[in-house]
Amino acid sequence: MAAIIESTLVRGELADELAALAREISASVVVVQGSRNGAGSGVVWDASGLIVTNAHVVSQRDALVIPRRGEQLTAQVIAYSRELDLAAIRLTEPANVPLIPARKGDSRRLKAGEVVVAVGNPLGERNAATLGIVGGPSAIPGQRDTLRLAISLRPGNSGGALADVEGRVVGIPHVVIGPGLALAVPTHVVEDFLQQTWG
């Protein structure tokens, strides 16, 4: 990360590098609307079109999904864990634009002080990017290996992508715990959740 910042600052291109990073991440982020809840975000998880979001964003049965530059589509909730605040959903109709799966990173390798980027749809703003810093793991009752972040997130960021500076998704933001502080579900917990669901 230091090398990236140093080289881009020397060339005066840091803003361009961060904008390109945000565009790459946002290609895999969609709007997710629960049947009774406000709109949140979701991450296209694999080439089959599986989308991961937070359980609190959707009901246990269905949701609406708006892909990037796409129309509103219906989706079915196929896995749900209130304890982990995770849900997996799949479209029940074809999207009119390709769903681009996110590149995943190893959340176990994250260290306190690393820079991360959250991309979601806060307060109706599409594909908004926010810089933050990993504060370290946080043991929360009912949660496993929750990431603690120094980052300013708003309603609508829930279920979106938390990525490292290489554009690899390392977590799913899900709780704002105070001004400039939030929690995220690490990618390895998401993978465990999906593995336990389908084996």
> Is 85 annotated as catalytic?
yes
> Is a pLDDT exceeding 90 seen at residue 3?
no
- Rounded alpha-carbon distances, angstroms, from residue 29 to 70, 109, 119: 12, 23, 7
The pair of three-digit structure tokens given for residue 53, joined into one six-digit string: 């979001």
CB atoms within 10 A of CB 7: 12
> Is 81 annotated as catalytic?
no
One-letter amino acid for residue 73 of the chain:
L
Q: What is the mean pLDDT of the chain?
A: 85
pTM: 0.88
Instruction: Report pLDDT digits (tens) over 124-143.
Output: 788 889 999 998 665 555 45
Instruction: Report pLDDT digits (tens) over 175-188.
Output: 999 899 999 999 99
Domains of the chain: 29-91 (2.40.10.10), 107-195 (2.40.10.10)
Exactly one of 85, 107, 164, 174 is catalytic; name it. 85
Instruction: Report pLDDT digits (tens) over 43-91.
Output: 999 988 899 999 999 988 889 898 877 688 899 999 999 999 999 999 9
Beta-ladder partners of 88: 52, 79
Exactly one of 26, 28, 107, 158 is catalytic; name it. 158
